[in-house]
Amino acid sequence: MGHGGNVIEELMADHREVEQLFSRIEALPTGDSDLRGLVDEVTIELVRHSVAEEQYLYPAVREHVEGGAELADKEIAEHAEAEKLMKELERMRVDDAQFHPTLAKLMEDVSAHVRDEEGQLFPRLRQACTSEALDDLGDKVRRAKAMAPTRPHPSAPDTPPANKVLAPGVGMVDRVRDFVTGRGKS
């Protein structure tokens, strides 16, 4: 991740990446050995994306968009639910009877979240902020994704300032674990 452009362009590019990963997952035949790697890859992308949104996008929504606090709270709650599902998937073997239903729920929830952000939140943010502010947010989101955790941590704080302080350290530990295990290298 790290596409360039303003915050909306950056996050929409992330959304397209996740949709492509979902399509690849859906196209796999039952029992395919690539499933774990693709689920790990989508988890990495979703966690990094969510952390960056929670650090920069949602605070901007709270500040600039009318009714932004409620909107941000709703989006953060959706992230928390997705993170729990990702944590469950991380703990399961792909042949577990609950793996596919849990994965299907995650994909359904994330797809609904993306539609909502792109249809409601992004247009309202674009109206409320200058292009310079959106560009600045894009830069901040890219930097946050580079340092963000790559594994779900449902009990970690999801609002500033605590999330901004803890995420880089947790991210470093996750990246070391990923390197040692080869996770995310499909």
Total count of domains within the chain: 1
Mean pLDDT of the chain: 88
Which residue shows structure tokens 């009714």?
67
Task: Determine the Cα–Cα distance for residues 58 and 55; give it in Å rounded to an integer.
Answer: 7
At 14, is the secondary structure helix, strand, or coil?
helix
- For 29-50, the DSSP string reads PTT-TTHHHHHHHHHHHHHHHH
Query: For residue 186, is it within any domain?
Result: no
User: The domain spanning residue 47 has which CATH number?
Assistant: 1.20.120
The pTM of this model reads 0.89
Residue-range definition of the domain harbouring residue 68: 7-181
Task: Return the closest-CA partner of residue 160 out of 59, 65, 53, 29.
Answer: 59
At 3, is the secondary structure helix, strand, or coil?
coil
pLDDT in tens, 2-31: 567 899 999 999 999 999 999 999 999 888
**8 A C-beta contact, residue 58 and residue 122:** no
Confidence band (pLDDT; 50, 70, 90) for 153?
Answer: confident
Query: For residue 1, is it within any domain?
Result: no
Confidence band (pLDDT; 50, 70, 90) for 1?
Answer: very low
pLDDT value of residue 31:
81
pLDDT in tens, 48-97: 999 999 999 999 999 999 999 999 999 999 999 999 999 999 999 999 99
Query: For residue 133, is it within any domain?
Result: yes
Query: For residue 50, is it within any domain?
Result: yes
